[in-house]
C-alpha cells in the first residue's frame, strides 16, 4: 500500500487593510455609507480587510461583517471612542459577544445629550438591504466619562485591539490633547491620518518616532474608502493574526 502525505504550507501574504471607516451610524458619516455600499466599494478597491469604527457605537458593525463574509472582505468590528480628554481611539473586539459587552460598557459612560440631525447629522442603524431599522437619539460624538488609559485597560482585558487614532491631527488626538504618550498606555500600534506624510508630523513631534504605525482612510464618504491603507502580512484571516501583523504594517499614503 502506498501512502501519499499531503502538506499544507502556510505562507504569509500581503493583504490590503483600511481599518478606519464610518457608516451612516456616525453623525458625520455621509448617507451613502451603508454597510452594503461600503463592502461594494471595498471590493472595488481590492481591500481584503476593513474596520468599521463608528463614533462610540458598534451597532452597524455586525451586519457589515455578515455582508463582508459574502463578498470576500474580512471585517474588523470596532468603535472609535472619544475619551474624557477628547482623544479618539480605535477599539476592535474579537467576536460579537465581546463587541456587545464592550458596547454595554461604553453606554454606561455615555452622556445622553440629544442629537440634532439638522446640526450634526443622522445616526441610522441599517440592515443588509439598506432599510433603516433604528436611529440613535443621543449624540454619539460626545466624550465619554473615562480616560484614555482606562479605556485601553478595558480593551486589553477583553482581548481587543487598542489604537490611538490619527495621532497627527491638530484635534481629537494624543498629540493635540496630551502632547505626550502616557507611560502606562496599553496600545498595540498608533494610527496616522492620510495627511501625516504631508504635514511632517514625525518631524514636528520627534518623540513619537519610536512607535509603530498604521494609516487608514478614516472614510466618511464612499469615495474616501481605501485612499489610505496598510499592507499586512498574514497567514489567515483571523483577529489574532491581524493583531500580530499590525506592528509590521507597510503604510500606503495617498498622493495629496
Q: Is the pLDDT of residue 111 over 90?
A: no
- Considering the domain boundaries, does residue 215 fall inside one? yes
CB 83 within 8 A of CB 89: yes
CB 99 within 8 A of CB 92: no
- Its pTM stands at 0.93
- Considering the domain boundaries, does residue 2 fall inside one? no
For residue 22, give the nearest of 48, 58, 47 by alpha carbon: 58
The CATH number of the domain holding residue 236 is 3.20.20.140
Q: Is the pLDDT of residue 10 over 80?
A: no
For residue 158, give the nearest of 83, 217, 105, 235 by alpha carbon: 105
Domain of 34 in residue numbering reads as: 13-252
Show the cell assigned to 138: 443621543
Pairing verdict, β 229-234 and 250-252 = antiparallel
| Alpha-carbon distances of 152 from 62, 192, 201, rounded to whole Å | 22, 18, 23
- Considering the domain boundaries, does residue 109 fall inside one? yes
CB 208 within 8 A of CB 245: no
- Considering the domain boundaries, does residue 71 fall inside one? yes
Model confidence band, residue 146 (pLDDT cutoffs 50, 70, 90)? very high
Which 3 state secondary structure label does DSSP give 253?
coil
Kindly state the helix (H) or strand (E) to which residue 70 belongs, with its residue range.
helix 61-70
Q: CA-based angle 61:70:232, to the nearest 5?
A: 70
Model confidence band, residue 232 (pLDDT cutoffs 50, 70, 90)? very high
Q: CA-based angle 181:184:185, to the nearest 5?
A: 55
The domain tally of the chain equals: 1
**Mean pLDDT rounded to a whole number for the chain:** 93
* Residue count (the chain): 256
Q: Percentage of residues in the chain with pLDDT exceeding 90?
A: 86
CB 162 within 8 A of CB 156: yes
Q: What was the pLDDT predicted at 197?
A: 80
- Considering the domain boundaries, does residue 76 fall inside one? yes
Amino acid at each position: 500500500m502506498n501512502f501519499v502525505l499531503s502538506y499544507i504550507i502556510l505562507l504569509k501574504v500581503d493583504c490590503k487593510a483600511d481599518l478606519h471607516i464610518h457608516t451612516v451610524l456616525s453623525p458625520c458619516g455621509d448617507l451613502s455609507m451603508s454597510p452594503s455600499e461600503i463592502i461594494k466599494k471595498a471590493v472595488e478597491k481590492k481591500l481584503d480587510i476593513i474596520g468599521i469604527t463608528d463614533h462610540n457605537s458598534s451597532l452597524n458593525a455586525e451586519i457589515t461583517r455578515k455582508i463582508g463574509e459574502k463578498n470576500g472582505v474580512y471585517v474588523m468590528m470596532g468603535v472609535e471612542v472619544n475619551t474624557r480628554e477628547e482623544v479618539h481611539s480605535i477599539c476592535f473586539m474579537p467576536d460579537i459577544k465581546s463587541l456587545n459587552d464592550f458596547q454595554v460598557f461604553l453606554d454606561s459612560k455615555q452622556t445622553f445629550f440629544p442629537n440634532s440631525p439638522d446640526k450634526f447629522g443622522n445616526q441610522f442603524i441599517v440592515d443588509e438591504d439598506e432599510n433603516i431599522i433604528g436611529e440613535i437619539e443621543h449624540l454619539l460624538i460626545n466624550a465619554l466619562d473615562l480616560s484614555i488609559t482606562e479605556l485601553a485597560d478595558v480593551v486589553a482585558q477583553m482581548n481587543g485591539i487598542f489604537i490611538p487614532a490619527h495621532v497627527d491631527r491638530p484635534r481629537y488626538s494624543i498629540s493635540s490633547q496630551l502632547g505626550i504618550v502616557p507611560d502606562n498606555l496599553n496600545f498595540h500600534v498608533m494610527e496616522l491620518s492620510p495627511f501625516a506624510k504631508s504635514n511632517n508630523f514625525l518631524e514636528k513631534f520627534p518623540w513619537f518616532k519610536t512607535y509603530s504605525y498604521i494609516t487608514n482612510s478614516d472614510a466618511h464618504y464612499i469615495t474616501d474608502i481605501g485612499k489610505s491603507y496598510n499592507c499586512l502580512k498574514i497567514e489567515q484571516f483571523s483577529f489574532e493574526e491581524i493583531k500580530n501583523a499590525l506592528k509590521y504594517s507597510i503604510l500606503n499614503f495617498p498622493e495629496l
